Structure 1
Amino acid sequence: MNQNILTIKVGTSIQSSLALAQQMLERLELGEEPAPYFGVGFKNVSQMLGVFTPKRWDLLAALREHGAMSIAELARTLQRDYKNVHNDVERLMEWLAIERDEQGKVFTPYSEIVVDVHLPQQKAA
């Protein structure tokens, strides 16, 4: 069973991403193997919710529960229109949440998706 985790970061700075990359490089220089990290970032919650809509979360859950399947099978499972499911799959593939296997079936390679939301900094009074 694949135990990869997709981390969705919302509202984090480029500095935090660079710090994570620096930590991974330091581990590699010490001869250690860093834990795999798969992440995508969004400027704000609205942007994230534009990609990860409720119907797309349902789609990811169905793939996780049933495993790899064709888009037509997925549409039947979700009882949704093929064209809409196809568009959702394409969009989620752009954001690394879905992949295709050798037979062209779609699946989610993650056992978990973690959403990490950082609120904007409070302005000084």
Structure 2
Amino acid sequence: MSERRILRIEISTPQAAMEAFAQTWERLERGEAVTPVESIGFESLSEMLSTLTPRRWELIQTVKRRGPTPIGELAEPPEQDKTLGCTDVGTLVDLGILEVDDRQRVFVPWDEIDLRVPLAA
């Protein structure tokens, strides 16, 4: 059985992300085992919420439920602007939340998305 793929989406400053990278690098240089973490960082909650809109979360859930889906089939109902749907898909692909297979269908490669929002700086 394959391991579950979890994507961590978090609020983190670029400095904190670089420090975490440096710590991981140092652990690897010492020969310590490091568990890979696949993550996306946003500098603020407002940036995250403006990027991962309710419409885009709905799109993620739809694609996960349907499985690999041609992009043109994601603009529903039929009168919905397909350009907006393609823009949303493109943004989610650029972030790595969605991926495109060799038949040009989009899919969600994650079993779970873990959102982390710190309450204190």
TM tier relative to shorter chain:
0.7 to 0.9
Percent identity for Structure 1 against Structure 2: 33
One-letter amino acid of the counterpart of residue 108, structure 1: V
Whole-Å Cα distance in 2 between the matches of residues 21 and 78 of structure 1? 45
One-letter amino acid of the counterpart of residue 9, structure 1: E
Q: Which 5+ residue runs of structure 2 have no aligned equivalent?
A: none
Give yes or no for the alignment of 1:4 onto 2:5. Answer: yes
One-letter amino acid of the counterpart of residue 21, structure 1: F
Shift of 1:43: 1.4
Change beyond 3 A, Cα 1:118–1:79 = farther
* Residue correspondence of structure 1 range 1-125 to structure 2 within 5 A: 3-10=4-11, 12-29=12-29, 31=31, 34-76=34-76, 80-121=80-121
SS where residue 73 of structure 1 aligns? helix
Q: Which moved more, 1:60-69 or 1:73-82?
A: 73-82
Per-residue CA deviations over 1:86-113 (Å, capped at 9, x if unaligned) read 1100111221111111111111111111
* Contact 1:63 1:69 survives alignment (8 Å): yes
Per-residue CA deviations over 1:31-51 (Å, capped at 9, x if unaligned) read 565333211111111111111
TM-score (norm 2): 0.80
Whole-Å Cα distance in 2 between the matches of residues 80 and 4 of structure 1? 32
* Contact 1:2 1:110 survives alignment (8 Å): no
Whole-Å Cα distance in 1 between the matches of residues 15 and 67 of structure 2? 36
* Contact 2:10 2:116 survives alignment (8 Å): yes
Whole-Å Cα distance in 1 between the matches of residues 78 and 8 of structure 2? 25
One-letter amino acid of the counterpart of residue 109, structure 1: P
TM-score (norm 1): 0.78
Q: Which moved more, 1:53-62 or 1:30-39?
A: 30-39
